[in-house]
Structure 1
């Protein structure tokens, strides 16, 4: 996957957009093709701002929860080693790449955005790992051992995913910075780590505190 393809995808919402390789501060072990903020010489036009809000290129940023979960997996590889892992809402693919680097038997990066899967493919190649791509959770491969997900609960309508994940795999690794209380006692809080979206979007400080949860059949 060439960076030209990623640039073209980004320019569908931001005319001067382009990607550059960088290493997020919260997970410097992994290099990613991400939005290059140096292209912004001035404020966005009204049309560009509306386009970015309507169809944000989530894949072109490495969100705080993704960085923290990826770094945590690299530090705790036993959770994914020799397992078949599905990364839900993969975005840039940082968590999927981390799981592959940590020794997972297979990692499936699942995202409904074709541009995100382009980014996942490019970022996997950048880090020398192989990932399987999936564009629809409902047609995911069978036999998933571990589900990983970062910042997928921002919409209250997504809360049922907590149960769906548990029913789909014997182990769920979840990172979230948007919800203070999951309301599901099966998910055990492991740690709270601070990180910032990369490149920095200057979000509210409360969104920089990432909670990692594990739901597992012991």
Structure 2
């Protein structure tokens, strides 16, 4: 049977032939090891075909974005926000926030992502951290009631703004992290804290995208 990293490598190599993952610990949440893109494979610039493939079908799951790291560490530092509660993590990507919620004592964590490769990464990273996470590929097909919705870096597209209302309708409490939108336009989301983080591996994004705001909607 293929090892976990080999299985993830196969998925990544559909986009980037020389791509591979490596076990690493993001600087923003260093106690949560993850299988993420290994930048050591990029010994030279991407070819035109490689660049086109990456743009057409980016492996978002193979990076741990700044907002995910900051929200994950926030959950670890404030386990009372999720302990004993049923949590659904929207747009899970690598699974870092879902895994942090499980480590913080949530009764169940559902990781939701439309990307099958992302869900494979969530499963692998959950095993790496010795926690259980349930997988869901359809937000609208989620089953049962939830106490908390978590989401990080999902407002990059203005068309995603209606998600704010959807999250509030899905659970009594919402924890949202974002580094790109300074005004959510919804005063039911209250700023809790501002943290610093960098995408891991580092994509050298603008400094403003390294400032992550965490909001809560619903009761304390």
Match of 1:155 in 2: 157
Match of 1:125 in 2: 127
Cα deviation, residue 22, structure 1: 0.3
Among 23, 26, 31, which residue is 1:24 paired with? Answer: 26
Match of 2:16 in 1: 14
Match of 2:104 in 1: 102
Structure 1 moving runs of 4+ over 3 Å: none
Q: Secondary structure at the match of 1:38?
A: helix
Aligned residues: 218
Cα deviation, residue 53, structure 1: 1.0
Match of 1:67 in 2: 69
Q: Quick one: distance in 1 between partners of 2:49 and 2:103?
A: 40
Q: Quick one: distance in 2 between partners of 1:173 and 1:46?
A: 39
Q: Report Cα offsets for 1:79-116 as digits up to 9, x if no partner.
A: 10000000000000000000000000000000000000
Q: Quick one: distance in 1 between partners of 2:86 and 2:187?
A: 25
Q: Quick one: distance in 1 between partners of 2:5 and 2:23?
A: 10
Q: Secondary structure at the match of 1:212?
A: strand
Q: Quick one: distance in 1 between partners of 2:191 and 2:110?
A: 25
- Report the TM-score when normalising by structure 1: 0.99
Q: Report Cα offsets for 1:44-84 as digits up to 9, x if no partner.
A: 00111111111110000000000000000000000100000
Q: Quick one: distance in 2 between partners of 1:7 and 1:75?
A: 32
In the alignment, structure 1 residue 192 sits paired with structure 2 residue 188: no
Cα deviation, residue 217, structure 1: 3.2
Q: Secondary structure at the match of 1:130?
A: coil
Among 83, 86, 91, which residue is 1:84 paired with? Answer: 86
Q: Secondary structure at the match of 2:183?
A: coil
Q: Quick one: distance in 1 between partners of 2:47 and 2:15?
A: 11
Cα deviation, residue 141, structure 1: 1.4
Instruction: Give the unaligned 5+ runs of structure 1.
Output: none
Q: Secondary structure at the match of 1:203?
A: coil
- Report the TM-score when normalising by structure 2: 0.98
Superposed, 1:14-53 pairs within 5 Å as: 14-53=16-55
Q: Quick one: distance in 2 between partners of 1:92 and 1:51?
A: 20
Q: Quick one: distance in 1 between partners of 2:219 and 2:75?
A: 18
